[in-house]
Amino acid sequence: MTTLAIHISLYKLVFTGDTNRQISEYKFKLSKAEQEMGTMEQNITRLEGQVSRYKASADNSEKVEDELKVEKRKLQRELRTALDKIEEMEMTNSHLVKRLEKMKANRNALLTQQ
């Protein structure tokens, strides 16, 4: 073998070894990237499930809030009605007390005249 042939053979060995090392590195990086993608896909699935649950919870909360608002309006109407009725009864009571006092005064006046 000539010196040139030896150099070419050595160059091929070094180049082939370097190429094999690079191929191994790239295979490892590819494997690692595929694992990371799998992990990320699992995270995406988990997060989508969380979003779905949170959305359902928010929808339910809005429904409950709407029901509570309706109930609050109903109770406020009932309160206004009850307060109006109390005011009306107080006025009636006041009127009846005045009539009673007037009747007592008239009776006392009649008794003193006799």
- pLDDT on residue 27: 86
pLDDT for 75-89, tens place per residue?
999 999 999 999 999
The residue assigned the tokens 């690079």 is 22
Across the 114 residues of the chain, what is the mean pLDDT of every consecutive 10-residue run? 62 65 84 96 98 98 98 98 98 98 94 84
- pLDDT on residue 36: 97
Gyration radius (Cα) of the chain, Å? 48
d(CA 51, CA 59): 12
Q: Give residue 82's identity as a one-letter amino acid code.
A: A
- pLDDT on residue 16: 64
d(CA 8, CA 17): 14
Considering the entire predicted model, what is its pTM?
0.55
- pLDDT on residue 65: 98
- pLDDT on residue 111: 86
Residue 17, SS3 per DSSP: helix
Calculate what percentage of the chain has a pLDDT beyond 70. Answer: 84
